[in-house]
Amino acid sequence: MALRHAVLAALLDEELSGYQLAKVFDLGMANFWHALPQQLYAELTRLEKDGLVTGREVVQDTRPNKRLFTVTDAGLVELERFTEAVTKPSAIRDDLLVKVRAADHVGAEALIGQLTERAGFAQAKIDLFEKLLHTMRGGRTEEEFLRYGDRVGPYLTCLRGLAFEQGNRDWCVRAASALRERAACRSRG
């Protein structure tokens, strides 16, 4: 059981349809969880069957009808249980790390290219997360918001996402420059 609780957590803040969920899910989880629409639809069906969420049909004239889902009390209990349960630390998986691991045995140019590309990607995420955080805390400072704001959950996860992408960017830049310098030394000597 894994995606279940991520979906439950995503539905806490707002009533969503499967389609809407599919659009906001990845980003709402600050990129710490990813799922395809099909998985989300399937999970919503299961969750409803188990009584952890309820769906209500919303008839629309101009668009296809949709079903909006809300977390039930049983769903909240399940989330509480999940929160108390121990979970093993994050399973991360990144192709780029595998590539860098092999850095001494493959061409440096390709690797530097990938690192640079990823750094750019990370920077875009950073900008996005910073904007999101700014919006969430409104006029307040971070300290104020964390103390007195409501719904700090999404804010905190977003903070982790931001730090992660900063880590990504900084490391990519550093690794790329290290590889460039080595290449320069090699060609000189």
Partner DNA sequence: GATGCATAGTCATGAATATGACTAGTCAGT
Partner DNA sequence: ACTGACTAGTCATATTCATGACTATGCATC
Nearest alpha-carbon partner for 184 in 133, 109, 134:
109
Taking Cα atoms as reference points, which of 6, 9, 40 lies closest to residue 23?
A: 40
Binding string, residues 121-160; x marks residues near a second copy by CB under 8 A: xx-----------------------xxx-xxxxx-xx-xx
Q: Tell me the closest approach of the beta carbon of residue 89 to DNA, in angstroms.
A: 12
- For DNA, the binding residue among 13, 14, 51, 65 (CB under 7 A) is 65
Cα separation, 127 vs 7, whole angstroms: 25
Alpha helices (H) along 138-151: 142-148
- Examine residue 82 and tell whether it contacts DNA (CB under 7 A): no
Give the x-and-dash track for 24-43 against DNA (CB under 7 A).
----------xxxxxx-x--
66 versus 142: smaller Cβ distance to a second copy: 142
- The CB-based long-range contact list for 84-88 (8 Å cut-off, 24+ gap) reads none
- Given 12, 20, 136, 159, the residue binding DNA (CB under 7 A): 20
> Which distant-in-sequence residues (6+ apart) come within 8 Å of 20 by Cβ?
66
Decide if residue 84 touches a second copy (CB under 8 A).
yes
